[in-house]
Copies of this chain bind each other. A is one copy, B any other.
Amino acid sequence: MFNIFNAKSVAIIGASRDPKKLGHVVLENMLHGYKGATYPINPEASFILGKKCYQSILSTDDKIDLAVVMTPAKTVPGIIGECARKGVKTAIILSVGFGEIGNHKSEGLIMKAKKKMRILGPNCIGVYDSYSKIDTIFTTPQRQGRPGHGGISFISQSGAFGAILMDLLASEGIGLAKFISIGNRIDIDESEALEYLRNDNETKTIALYIEGVKNGRNFFNVLKKTAKQKPVIVMKAGRTGAGIEAVSSHTGTLAGHSKIFSAVFKQSHAIEATKIEDLGDFSKIFASQPFPKGKRVQIITNGGGLGILCIDELEKKQLKIAKLAEKTIKHIEKNVPAYVSVSNPMDLSGDATTERFELAIETCLKDKNTDALVIAILLQISAVQSNIVDVIINAKKHKKPIVVCSIGGDFTTKHKKLLEQHDIPTYPTPQRAIKSLQALMKYAEYKGVIK
């Protein structure tokens, strides 16, 4: 198994004084939170960002665990040779211009030069670890946020999706454990990254974006073994003929037939993401919600139209529409105006206050006929106050999955972030909320929690 996240010392090979160069950004990011030793390597500089700079990795007497390499492609095999001589355990190669443009020769030279050392990349954006703060992502924090601690980890063959997912999670207030960009994966591949995360204590849920796999049989075995232990959400790009062609010039991968992949995911009990937004949507419900004991879902809303779309979606996704007990209905009806529809969907009406929501949420979650709750809430209306956030967070005590469907501008976004920070997943549409709930229920069935 590779050793990256517990590296005690890191060399930045290609560190730069020019703030526009990625060799500067990566060094700056590493100096920001990482507690280990950082060694900038650049033969033409004495100091960068106040750190002493070295001619080559061989010029330092200290032990180096991890090397991050971002020099031009033609220099990389030589540098990897030096790293191997130095006893570096792993090198992350951010440089481009290898297999993805047909330059397999240089990749061969790297593999020869590396000896026992392990390689991540090339043509990748490396890793981010919210715990050790090892951060080789060459985007600045001004451009792309870094999520705080959390249970989601993400492996991606596309660096872009890594940057996007990290940025979105950070801006939405959701945590991330580790991100691993595998790029051309000439050595460490998706299967090994999966194995690593299976054994990683911080990782509760794994999301995976692939364009193809290196060793199908091995991937299948690792996926099956991993999905037994933790939920694995996986997206396969390059599904159409033209998409498969496009994959080959992206990471030099043979994309393979999408139906075979879907079958493999199904047999492994991995959860397939068919849209890019599913990766984040599914990850956050798995990382935050308990498994439901059944498929009966109650909808509570203050916007009738939202309730209807939720019900449409429950039926489409073959979840069950919860039927509240007589006593639940009576208790709520006694305490709300006559125009409130105490049913499923429960339309609390546009003038619903936080108190009316609290009554509905608490009573429905106590009802044995309800396994999960969707709160489709319009925060645009003044009747419901900001403390609705506390009511929803407090409802976690019932240990039934809760998802919130809400969308809007600044006010709504601010309140959604508060919910996410307290482990309540929020979704912009009924479809995405209920699709995520369906994914959770499917895995709960596999785990035998839903019988």
Interface residues of A (CB under 8 A from B): 20, 22, 25, 96-97, 100-101, 125, 138-140, 142-145, 156-161, 163-164, 167-168, 170-171, 209, 211, 237-243, 245-247, 249-251, 275-277, 302-309, 311-312, 314-316, 321, 337-339, 341, 343, 345, 347, 349-351, 378-383, 407-413, 428-431
CA gap between A302 and B161 in the complex, in Å: 12
Is the CB–CB distance between A378 and B241 below 8 Å? no
CA gap between A41 and B6 in the complex, in Å: 71
CA gap between A247 and B20 in the complex, in Å: 56
Contacts of A306 in B (CB 8 A): 158, 160-161
Is the CB–CB distance between B380 and A167 below 8 Å? yes
Which of B97, B378, B428 has a CB less than 8 Å from the CB of A160? B378
Q: With A139-B381, A144-B411, A167-B412 in contact, is A158–B96 under 8 Å at CB? A: no
Contacts of A277 in B (CB 8 A): 428-429
Task: Across the A-B interface, give the 5 residue pairs with the lowest CB-CB distance, nearest first.
Answer: A158-B305, A160-B303, A171-B409, A250-B304, A243-B312
Q: How far in angstroms is the closest Cβ of chain B from A363?
A: 19
Is the CB–CB distance between B238 and A312 below 8 Å? yes
Closest to A258 in B: B312
Closest to A101 in B: B339
17 residue pairs from A and B, CB less than 8 Å apart: A101-B339, A138-B350, A143-B379, A159-B303, A161-B303, A164-B380, A170-B409, A171-B408, A239-B316, A242-B311, A242-B321, A246-B307, A246-B312, A249-B343, A250-B347, A275-B429, A276-B309
Is the CB–CB distance between A240 and B316 below 8 Å? yes
Q: How far in angstroms is the closest Cβ of chain B from A178?
A: 18
Closest to A413 in B: B171
CA gap between A339 and B250 in the complex, in Å: 10
CA gap between A128 and B305 in the complex, in Å: 19
Contacts of A383 in B (CB 8 A): 20
Is the CB–CB distance between A168 and B409 below 8 Å? yes
Is the CB–CB distance between B350 and A305 below 8 Å? no
| Most chain B CB within a 10 A radius of its CB, from A25, A240, A304, A350 | A304
Which of B158, B303, B314, B379 has a CB less than 8 Å from the CB of A242? B314
Is the CB–CB distance between A246 and B345 below 8 Å? yes
CA gap between A211 and B308 in the complex, in Å: 9
Is the CB–CB distance between A167 and B409 below 8 Å? yes
| Most chain B CB within a 10 A radius of its CB, from A251, A303, A383 | A303
CA gap between A345 and B248 in the complex, in Å: 12
Contacts of A347 in B (CB 8 A): 249-250
Q: With A381-B139, A428-B277 in contact, is A408–B144 under 8 Å at CB? A: yes
Contacts of A156 in B (CB 8 A): 305
CA gap between A381 and B157 in the complex, in Å: 17
Q: With A100-B339, A409-B167, A429-B277 in contact, is A304–B380 under 8 Å at CB? A: no
Closest to A255 in B: B308
Q: How far in angstroms is the closest Cβ of chain B from A282?
A: 15
Contacts of A96 in B (CB 8 A): 339, 349-351
Is the CB–CB distance between A303 and B158 below 8 Å? yes
Closest to A73 in B: B339
Q: How far in angstroms is the closest Cβ of chain B from A171?
A: 3
CA gap between A160 and B239 in the complex, in Å: 37
| Most chain B CB within a 10 A radius of its CB, from A20, A243, A305 | A305
Q: With A249-B343, A315-B241, A382-B143 in contact, is A304–B158 under 8 Å at CB? A: yes
CA gap between A308 and B237 in the complex, in Å: 7
CA gap between A384 and B20 in the complex, in Å: 10
CA gap between A142 and B411 in the complex, in Å: 7
Contacts of A343 in B (CB 8 A): 249
